[in-house]
Amino acid sequence: MTELSIDGGQRTAVRLAGCATWRDYVDLLKPRVMTLVVFTGFVGLAVAPGGLHPILAATAILCIAIAAGAAGAINMWYDRDIDAVMARTQARPLPRGLIDPSDALGFGIVLTVAAVGLMGLAVNWVAGVLLGLASAFYVFVYTMWLKRRTPQNIVIGGAAGAFPPMIGWAAVTGEVSLASIGLFAIIFLWTPPHFWALGLYRCGEYAKAGVPMMPVVAGERRTKRQMLLYTVLLLPLGLLPYVTGIAGLVYAAGALVLGGLFVVCAVRVWRERGRETGDRAAKQMFGYSIFYLFALFGLMVIDRSNGGFM
Amino acid sequence: MPTQDEGHQEAGRRQRGRNLAILAVLLGFVVLIYLITLVRMGGAE
């Protein structure tokens, strides 16, 4: 739909309501978030015992990517009111009026059904059901139930983002095992400090949008203490892939170093007076948390491809 | 400063872009299903 609008009587602007480009639909899939999801899903698939035909492996990764993106689209549909309030999300296609909300919802639902169905039919139904569960958890439990109600939103809701390596693993093995639950647990414990680091320096925006993130509800000190607790717990948990035999000593050493640096980040955040430093340590911790997950899971693949024999 | 006419042209251009994207996705989907069928039926081994 194209419509002409007069802006203050001075300037004529053409607003293209509901007339998005294909790139706007790609933006609806949260491609940056998808990168991490796809990578951890790929690692689950790569380190799982056994083999999968490359075409089926690529299909499994594609299904994980599409389902994650589709869940993101449904999340944007549901959260379009608060996305319009927060600077971080104001440029998304729905707050800008580029895509009709019902189109975004339909887009998300169709892609979810297609991804889950394709995963089940082409790869196996254990992976398909896990993919469906992850999507449902993200949409119904995190987005619709927890996000606006409790500061524990991303603690529990973080489970949705922890599914991908378990799905990748199930795509190869057709089952859920202790080792894949270990991969799930790593991302589950990584999620709170990752999001709370963001929440610390975006606290005002979350408060304005009425999202009860931990820094908004419990304050900085308690949030920082909890972030430190999670990173300390994550340090030994990062060794689970070594304990369960997925990876070798190279991974274990790397996990200790990476986990130790994550704890150092949390300590720096804990000691920081955010108002004086512009939350520099929190911003650095957020950036490091992304690097941490990429590096940890990357190490798993490298160690595995070397045989993990050390 | 775009006029209403230019706005319609822009809308048409965007619509064409979306249509081409859907065409590419559908073609990709057909190829993928074909390849999956070959693998699942053992033809690719």
Q: pLDDT tens for residues A258-277?
A: 999 999 999 999 998 867 77
Distance from CA of B27 to the nearest CA of A (A): 15
Backbone angles phi, psi at A7, to 5 degrees: -95, 100
Q: What is the mean pLDDT of chain A?
A: 90
Minimal-distance CA residue of chain A relative to B45? A53
- A171, A57 contact by CB (below 8 A): yes
Question: In this predicted model, what pLDDT tens digit does every residue of A151-164 receive, in sequence order?
Answer: 999 999 889 999 99
- CB–CB contact B10 A20 (8 Å): no
Q: What is the pLDDT of residue A3?
A: 38
- CB–CB contact A11 B1 (8 Å): yes
User: Three-state DSSP class for A6?
Assistant: strand
pLDDT band, very low/low/confident/very high, at A304 (cuts 50, 70, 90): confident
Backbone angles phi, psi at A5, to 5 degrees: -125, 145
User: What's chain B's length in residues?
Assistant: 45
Place of tokens 């790569």: A46
Q: Which helix (H) or strand (E) holds A303?
A: helix A280-305
- CB–CB contact B7 A14 (8 Å): yes
Report domain extents, chain B. Answer: 1-45
Checking if the pLDDT of A4 tops 50, the result is no
pLDDT band, very low/low/confident/very high, at B1 (cuts 50, 70, 90): low
pLDDT band, very low/low/confident/very high, at A5 (cuts 50, 70, 90): very low
Q: What is the pLDDT of residue B44?
A: 53
Q: How far apart are CA A37 and CA A142, in angstroms?
A: 16
Express as a percent the part of chain A with pLDDT over 70: 92
Token pair for residue A254? 């790397």
Q: What is the pLDDT of residue B2?
A: 63
- CB–CB contact B15 A19 (8 Å): yes
Checking if the pLDDT of B45 tops 90, the result is no
Q: How far apart are CA A20 and CA B15, in angstroms?
A: 8
Range name among A13-27, A147-161, A193-207, B16-30 with the lowest pLDDT average: A13-27
Q: How far apart are CA A265 and CA A281, in angstroms?
A: 7
Pick from A201, A206, A208: which is nearest to A269 by CA? A201
Checking if the pLDDT of A11 tops 50, the result is no
Question: In this predicted model, what pLDDT tens digit does every residue of A86-138 receive, in sequence order?
Answer: 988 999 999 999 999 999 999 999 999 999 999 999 999 999 999 999 999 99
Q: What is the pLDDT of residue A13?
A: 39
Report domain extents, chain A. Answer: 25-176, 179-310
Q: What is the pLDDT of residue B11?
A: 84
pLDDT band, very low/low/confident/very high, at B18 (cuts 50, 70, 90): very high
- CB–CB contact A14 B32 (8 Å): no
Checking if the pLDDT of A310 tops 80, the result is no
CATH of A25-176 among 3.30.70.260, 1.10.357.140, 3.30.200.20, 2.160.10.10: 1.10.357.140
Q: What is the pLDDT of residue A14?
A: 44
Pick from A288, A255, A250: which is nearest to A269 by CA? A288
Report the phi/psi class of residue A81: left, alpha or beta, with left for phi > 0 and alpha for psi in -120 to 50: alpha
- Classify residue A122 by its DSSP letter: I
Distance from CA of B19 to the nearest CA of A (A): 9
Q: How many CB pairs under 8 A join A and B?
A: 54
Closest partner residue to A16 (CB to CB) among B14, B20, B32 is B14
Chain B residues lying within 8 Å of A56, measured CB to CB: 36, 39
Question: In this predicted model, what pLDDT tens digit does every residue of A24-58 receive, in sequence order?
Answer: 999 999 998 899 999 999 999 999 998 899 999 99
Q: What is the ipTM of this complex?
A: 0.84
